[in-house]
Amino acid sequence: MAVRDAASPLLLGLLCLLHTWGARAAVEVNMEDKVEVLLGDPAQITCMFKSDDFGGSGGMTIEWHYVKSSTDSQRIYSQDSLQSTVEKNTPYSDRITVNTTAREVVLTIRDVQLKDDEVAFNCFVKIIGEGSGEGGTKLKVFKTPEDPTIQGVEQGISVSDEVTKVASCEVKNGHPKPKITWYRDKMPLHNIPDVVKLDHSVTTQSSGLYSVNSDLNMKVEKKDKDAVFYCEVTFLVPGAEKMLETKRINITVFYPPTTVNLWVESPKGKIKEGDTVEFLCASDGNSESQFFIIENNEGPSLKMENVTRHNSGVFHCTVEDYENYVRLSTNTTVLVNYLDEVVIKPTGSVSVDWKKEFSATCNALSSLSTTTTWFKNGKEVEKGHHLNIKAVTYDTAGTYVCVVTVPEIQAMQANASLQLTVQGPPEIIEKQLNEKETNERELELTCHVRSYPTPNIIWGTTNGKIISSSNHMTGVGAKSVAKVQVNITSNTTVFCNASNEFGKDSVTYVIRFTKHTTTPATITTTISPTTITAANTTNNTSTSTNAAKTKSTGSYGVVIAVIIICILLLAILGSVLYFLYKKGKICNRSGKKDFTKEKSSKDKIVVEMKSDNTEEAILLGINGEKQLPNDQ
């Protein structure tokens, strides 16, 4: 009995040992639970196997199956030690390849499709004499959806409405199914009874892709007029989760007014007569049923042109919202500022005696404070309402402009003018004595006279002769122009006399005639030496030199040149006659003349002219002889 009891544990241990050896001899297959891939990309599924007793000498077979359901499995690939086979007429016949190593088999599926490929793939490994093993991997296919879109309702939504559609959001062609979340001002929205309702709908395309549409329904409040709405789409990709957002939108919310305001839109600042005034009326409500009335004129604006002080007063605006049974009113006060016409005393044109005192006043009524300035010829001459001139002169005569300005309003001013005329004796602007030089026989003289009344202007000479003149008025007074004949032998004195009932004035012009001069001209005349030789006669040489130097000015230069030429001709003629005279005397004395006899000496005749217009002729023999031998 004891032996039998001891044998039982030994038998049990042997059985356990034998079982352990069998487990170690079995084939172990390891595979991933799932493989994730984007639509259209290649997918790789790895089947790893091992066996402790497998040394590679025995036979091994490998098979790949795809499994649509627990009862639907189909082989797509098989391999043994002799060959490998891709099964025909399957969705993978032309899209798979298998690579096998000693411990690993890799199935590659090209161009992964959503409809056929999102299934489980099983790997079977059998080793002869060792056993077999099996593993499986689920293939997950992903498709990134298109960018989501959002669309708000076109019409406005009233706060008095119940829960109504506000906007819709849609995302298309994604896998797995995308998820839409609504946001208002960055805060997610969830279903709240009678406040927020989210309606989602999913559409499955024939390709297996999903399109999701979501409507946001709300009971809007006044604060929603400034709210920003958008939706967020979350979706899966291999190994991650991603997110896309739509653009931001606002919605139109209608709500009744609680306050109303009326103001002057233009002009900005103070209003003056002649302005165009525009009123605007607005409330804090936004309702299609509200309307405005400004001073019995319908509409939120009122324009008044060319306003006057009589338009000053209180203006009213009323807003009514008949759907919400609201009526509100407000008002504003408008003051139209004015500046009356300028009043100058004395008015018009004023005459004041020369050197007398003059004063004037200038005023204009206004609703605002003013400043007054006097101008003459565009220059400021006085500030204040009063213009005072202690002693008027012709310089102070003219037009005075009084300008009244309202400093608080730009371009608000008025003006009036006063013409001041100074009456008194004539005053000639030119100096008392005027000396002039001219080379003309006639000279034009001018005389300017300031005076009121208009003076009588007379031109005259020292001998009492009256000279005619032309007179006319200018901006500074009377202008008289006279043409005077100039005496060339003595100074000419002319008077300009001006007079009126208050007195007289005169100026003197002394005119001196100057001769016109030109640059002197110099004329030089040279007569070449002349040699006369007589045969068989003693020759006498005579030289006459006359240097002519003349200076002339003006028109006398030509006359002097002609006189010099005549004198030269007379000198030459005298020399010839003297020579002939001497020759005739010798012949008469001797009775005969030797024409074969010559003297080797050379005789010259030189004529010289002097500036004193005197003539000298000196004939001398070169050898100093004064008579011929037969004259001795």
Identify the three-state secondary structure at position 81: coil
Q: Which tops the pLDDT comparison, 557 or 623?
A: 557
Residue by residue, DSSP assigns 546-581 as: B-------TTHHHHHHHHHHHHHHHHHHHHHHHHHH
Note the pLDDT tens digit of each residue in 54-87. 555 458 899 999 998 877 889 999 998 889 999 9
530 touches 576 (CB < 8 A)? no
Note the pLDDT tens digit of each residue in 570-599. 999 888 888 888 776 444 444 433 333 333
**264: its two tokens:** 């002057």
Q: What is the pLDDT of residue 517?
A: 63
* Helix, strand, coil percent content, the chain, rounded in steps of 5: 10, 45, 40
Mean pLDDT of 108-130: 92
Identify the three-state secondary structure at position 471: strand
Percent of the chain clearing pLDDT 70 (strictly above):
80
Q: Which tops the pLDDT comparison, 589 or 34?
A: 34
Amino acid, single-letter form, for residue 105: V
Q: What is the pLDDT of residue 589?
A: 42
**241: its two tokens:** 């989760």
Where do the domains of the chain lie, and which CATH numbers do they carry? 25-142 (2.60.40.10), 149-253 (2.60.40.10), 256-337 (2.60.40.10), 343-425 (2.60.40.10), 429-513 (2.60.40.10), 520-632 (no CATH)
**32: its two tokens:** 């991933």
- The whole-angstrom separation of Cα 421 and Cα 351 is 5
**322: its two tokens:** 């008949």
Note the pLDDT tens digit of each residue in 486-518. 888 889 999 999 999 999 999 999 999 998 665
380 touches 374 (CB < 8 A)? yes
**199: its two tokens:** 């309606």
Note the pLDDT tens digit of each residue in 172-204. 999 999 999 999 999 999 999 999 999 999 999
Lowest mean pLDDT among 7-11, 110-114, 552-556: 7-11
Question: Phi and psi (nearest 5°) for 79?
Answer: -155, 135
* CA distances (Å), origin 254, targets 160, 195, 281, 282: 9, 17, 18, 15
Note the pLDDT tens digit of each residue in 554-572. 445 677 888 899 999 999 9
Q: Which tops the pLDDT comparison, 580 or 270?
A: 270
Is cis: bond before 267, omega within 30 of 0?
Answer: yes
- The whole-angstrom separation of Cα 447 and Cα 459 is 10
244 touches 277 (CB < 8 A)? no
Note the pLDDT tens digit of each residue in 140-168. 999 999 999 999 999 999 999 999 999 99
Note the pLDDT tens digit of each residue in 35-46. 999 999 999 999
371 touches 411 (CB < 8 A)? no
96 touches 107 (CB < 8 A)? yes
| Residue 567 CB coordination number (10 Å) | 19
Q: Which pTM was predicted? A: 0.53
What element of type H or E holds 590? helix 556-590
Tokens 């039982």 map to which residue? 8
| Residue 431 CB coordination number (10 Å) | 8
Whether residue 386 is predicted with pLDDT greater than 50 in this model: the reply is yes
What residues form DSSP beta bridges with 78? 63, 85
Lowest mean pLDDT among 61-65, 313-317, 321-325, 556-560: 556-560
Sign of CA dihedral 375, 376, 379, 381: negative
What residues form DSSP beta bridges with 47? 105
Question: Which of 60-74, 206-220, 521-535, 548-562 shows the highest mean pLDDT?
Answer: 206-220
Whether residue 602 is predicted with pLDDT greater than 70 in this model: the reply is no
**472: its two tokens:** 């006319």
Lowest mean pLDDT among 143-147, 193-197, 241-245, 432-436: 432-436
Whether residue 525 is predicted with pLDDT greater than 70 in this model: the reply is no
- The whole-angstrom separation of Cα 482 and Cα 8 is 171
- The whole-angstrom separation of Cα 400 and Cα 95 is 108
Amino acid, single-letter form, for residue 90: T
Q: What is the pLDDT of residue 225?
A: 93
Q: What is the pLDDT of residue 165?
A: 97
Q: Please, what is the average pLDDT of the chain?
A: 83
484 touches 405 (CB < 8 A)? no
Question: Which of 17-21, 26-30, 183-187 shows the highest mean pLDDT?
Answer: 183-187
Identify the three-state secondary structure at position 397: coil
Q: Mention every residue, 6+ apart, whose C-beta is less than 8 A from residue 240.
A: none
Mean pLDDT of 2-16: 35
